[in-house]
Amino acid sequence: MKKKALISVSSKQKGGTEDAIEVVTPGVFFKDEDKLVASYEETEISGMDGTTTTLEIYNDYFILNREGTTSSRMEFSQNNNDVILYNTPHGALELSFIVHKVEMDIDEEGGTIYANYDLIIQGQPSINTSINVEIQLN
């Protein structure tokens, strides 16, 4: 059964300067067979208005799916190296990422997930990035 949840997503990027963004938004959270699922609508604040973000959370990894004006699929598992196509209203970007660390403390009542990874945008220098998601049931 889908439950209403408050989903807090914070992301920090360390390059020449440290950039941070935090979004707190209503969403839904539920168990679906072998995974937990959190879903929410992006807003103008994130720059992805018109996009639905869904987190599929497994025992030791999670998948971040975006569909709408922006679309992508990123798998965050320990030591995962991947190349994805990140589609935006302005065109597609090739992103490479190397996951260094994944930590999860989550169950059907909510919790947190964290990942630290290097992000490389079409051959540019890598940007160390961390994402922290907190899910609280309403």
**What was the pLDDT predicted at 48?**
74
Please state the domain count of the chain: 1
The pLDDT value given to residue 63: 96
CATH number of the domain to which 38 belongs: 2.40.128.20
Residue 40 clears pLDDT 90, i.e. is over it: yes
Q: What is the CA radius of gyration of the chain?
A: 15
Cβ contact 93:85 at 8 Å: yes
56-86 residue pLDDT tens: 999 999 999 999 988 888 999 998 888 888 7
- The reported pTM is 0.87
Integer Cα distance of 110 and 2 in angstroms: 12
SS3 50: coil
Q: Which domain holds residue 99?
A: 3-137
Dist CA 113 CA 98 (whole Å): 17
Model pLDDT for residues 10-29, shown as the tens digit of each residue:
999 987 667 888 889 999 99
